[in-house]
Structure 1
């Protein structure tokens, strides 16, 4: 038996055919199209028609590559970016582009997660002091769905707005697959202001100007009673519709699991892993669901998401959540994040005057540029008599929240990305990057030093997030990585050293676990959703009950079976190096307070 996972990222759709044991048999990636407005850099738009078409091509290609018969595919799972998909009441796409066509039938019907048009609407929402803000770290991001829906309400005719229904993109995918409007706990609680234990907040929607949703009993955004909102992987409708089965090349009625947001699929595809030591020794212990609360999932690419779950709801200032039941029934999750990590590294390298020299040297020596940088740093360490690289850069300090617009190949499709200060745990869009310790140098040596300092800054900010989570009540002792940054072993080892914490602490980090395939973790998580949906349907056909209580144990069992062992990188720094890391962290925290102090002094001077 096989399962299909479909991952809809910012610039592509990836489908993978996965075995019962979690082995990826075949994969296919299809690029999707993003529209930009040259007059307004805030605009990012996509098309559900385009995404679904590419999903069909990808799934069919997986079957063709593998030779697996469609009848042997027993379940399908989806994950996607937290983007807003808009259709009419018949499910046909509705234009979300500003202008005369807004609200008409048309292809451009997705407000991408990175779209920042709803800035004013977010300000209105954040001025309400509503209980919904309590569950997003105290402040709602303009990237969430309610600010975007409010923007559409403010810019669309009332008649056209009343004919719309709104989906977080993962839920649209299961709707398109089954024509069942069931929504997921993951999307509704994380991105749509659905409050744990009490659901939709009538006063909130009326106060911000979305009383239309209340009048329609929330049908426009998936109005259901709490017991009808699905936990991850629970079956949606009657499985694949006739039309969707044909479009995906699968069998009608194939089980479809309730979808989740892409970063949460990264959690799903990593945190249940056993792990090997760097010498290849495999741990004998099978991880329990109880152990999961000590494991932070870091989904790291252009930016990074940090996800951890707990048995009780834990409120953490500057960190989204707590969200109830987004994946495991009965468990809560918090989500932190860094706006720019892989993208920051790319910026620091490519904007340096010596970058072309670095590339040229790598070409001449037949080495990757990161290997060249390692060589330069080691040569410099020996020349200067430093015991470690952190000692080599002890007088160079970078604070990483660079702000502004940036276009790079590190961004999928080279998209122009808006960076907005600090996401977690300060949650302050006014934070800016800074660097102290500059020299009059534009050499490749200077580039290597700044590269190492950037790795350190990303790691220090990760520790800041982990420390904040632990002080609030979490108990994180390991990081489970996924995403493109897994390939950078220097960064992974830096995480292990920096996030280790104070010696002797009960919450001292034990290590960083790298997945068997960092790029496959998210789509593997999606396939697990399809597996659970199939298993639930099998139980129900046998006449046995299967509800939320059973979901937790069964999903974790599937995760353990389908997640390949990872490799743990343990901290190895000696006493002196650890002292330097602690000093660097102290300076990192001081730089935040100094920046706030200086900002206030300048505001006072200009008032």
Structure 2
């Protein structure tokens, strides 16, 4: 990256503007004409989509919790206990801290890159929604399942959730997660971004049979959700081991609309998950930046507190059997990567 500093940083410039900072004289006449807007409308420094999602959701805490954090000190501490999951094709895991925390395998720290006056730490999973699509669409039962879902006017994922709850009822089991006791998934089908930072990591499915039914697809779908959630648990534990104090998750994006996906994440991480009242958190984050640029609020945090709002809170199961089950599966999840490293080493030696 040495070329970026050549010519007095000519390629990237030397002027740095923080998120929401008003730029120039607002919207230019040319841009206003193309957009059908008025010239001079305030334009704020933007953020990438995931970071805008963080701005749109990170202060979405229940009223009781927000009122409890009355002092500036407790307010600054409270936000540092949260991690935002922007869940879509991939998932970004974002947390902030007052101290500069360097965490192996996790991006950052970045100063004021999302929330002003805080260091941003960003982990991630390269394929989450994309992985679920891949698993479902490549199963032999997918076309039939898609037809059934269409006839019921629901999504294929809503139908899969219904099938799983029906299976749990038929088998008289106490919690739905235990349906996957024989199926384990390492979700690194597109490498591991965090916390292992291993682009060579591969996905693993342990527990295949000759079953090609819709029920088998439902089990594979659930095991994949769990594998993704174990990955999030790994990221949270890794960040906390290096200075963070994360105990609450906030989720937005398409996958956050899947109740089973969110409940499994709550049960597996042991963290309550707050879902924002506004589904389009990325757009809300962009609106926050615009409002600050227009001087409707004195700063980004003020706008976040005014415009972010909590919706539903999903809590981890209080059943100790659920925790025991996921603790066991999590250890298997971690071992799958270690086995992969062993296999990789053995084959590399064989080819020498």
Using the size of structure 2 for normalisation, the TM-score is: 0.93
Kindly indicate whether residue 324 of structure 2 is the aligned counterpart of residue 593 of structure 1: no
Distance 1:433 1:459 in 2: 14
Partner of 2:72: none
Structure 1 segment 414-453 matched on structure 2, within 5 A: 419=190, 421-453=191-223
Partner of 2:295: 535
Kindly indicate whether residue 86 of structure 2 is the aligned counterpart of residue 299 of structure 1: yes
Gaps of at least 5 residues in structure 2 are 70-74
Structure 1 segment 548-563 matched on structure 2, within 5 A: 554-563=299-308
Q: Offset at 1:326?
A: 0.9
Q: Offset at 1:573?
A: 4.1
Kindly indicate whether residue 313 of structure 2 is the aligned counterpart of residue 568 of structure 1: yes
Alignment partner of 1:535: what SS?
Answer: coil
Q: Offset at 1:258?
A: 1.3
Kindly indicate whether residue 230 of structure 2 is the aligned counterpart of residue 460 of structure 1: yes
Q: Describe the superposition over 1:401-433 as per-residue Cα deviations: whole angstroms up to 9, x where unpaired.
A: 11xxxxxxxxxxxxxxxx3x1111111111001
Alignment partner of 1:269: what SS?
Answer: helix
Match of 2:281 among 521, 531, 534: 521
Structure 1 segment 224-263 matched on structure 2, within 5 A: 224=14, 228-263=15-50
Partner of 2:141: 354
Match of 1:401 among 184, 188, 207: 188
Which structure has more relative contact order (CA 8 Å, sep 6+)? It is 2
Distance 1:343 1:482 in 2: 16
Partner of 1:604: 349
Distance 1:479 1:297 in 2: 6
- CA separation of 1:236 and 1:423: change in aligned 2, threshold 3 A: same
Partner of 2:54: 267
Match of 1:285 among 57, 62, 66: 66
Q: Which runs of 4+ in 1 moved over 6 A?
A: none
Using the size of structure 1 for normalisation, the TM-score is: 0.55
Q: Offset at 1:262?
A: 1.1
Distance 1:334 1:589 in 2: 23
Partner of 1:377: 164
Partner of 1:221: 12
- CA separation of 1:395 and 1:488: change in aligned 2, threshold 3 A: same
Does the CA contact (< 8 Å) of 1:231 and 1:328 recur in 2?
no
Q: Offset at 1:240?
A: 1.9
Would you tell me which structure has more helix in proportion to its own residues? Answer: 2
Larger radius of gyration: 1
Q: Describe the superposition over 1:462-509 as per-residue Cα deviations: whole angstroms up to 9, x where unpaired.
A: 111111111111111111111111111100111111011xxxxxxxx2
Alignment partner of 2:250: what SS?
Answer: strand
